[in-house]
Amino acid sequence: MKVRLTRKLAPRVDGIDLSSHEVGDVFDLPPEQAWLVIAENWAIPERRMSQNSSSEHRRRVGDQLPDPPDDRLLRAS
């Protein structure tokens, strides 16, 4: 799942290595890790498609995003 890093207070969050990424970077993470950095308010889902995509292939914001993981994964440890 693509996410955009919106803040970075440390090189790792919840065991996820972000040391090679800077604020504003868009990168892929497995869905479980993506939802964790989103829940920690370190990232947002990246929903934009490339400019080369035709308009009929564009989707509305929120369409077909993976379901959030089980809420047990989002609880603070």
5 inside domain: yes
Domain boundaries, position 38: 1-47
39 inside domain: yes
pLDDT confidence of residue 57: 45
Per-residue pLDDT of the chain (77 residues; tens, 9 = 90+): 999 999 999 999 989 999 999 999 999 999 999 999 999 999 999 987 555 444 444 444 445 556 666 665 555 54
52 inside domain: no
Q: Record the pTM.
A: 0.61
pLDDT confidence of residue 37: 96
57 inside domain: no
Let me know: does 2 contact 45? Beta carbons within 8 Å. yes
55 inside domain: no
24 inside domain: yes
40 inside domain: yes
pLDDT confidence of residue 76: 53
30 inside domain: yes
pLDDT confidence of residue 47: 84
pLDDT confidence of residue 49: 56
Distance between CA 75 and CA 55 in Å, rounded?
Answer: 38
**Number of independent structural domains in the chain:** 1
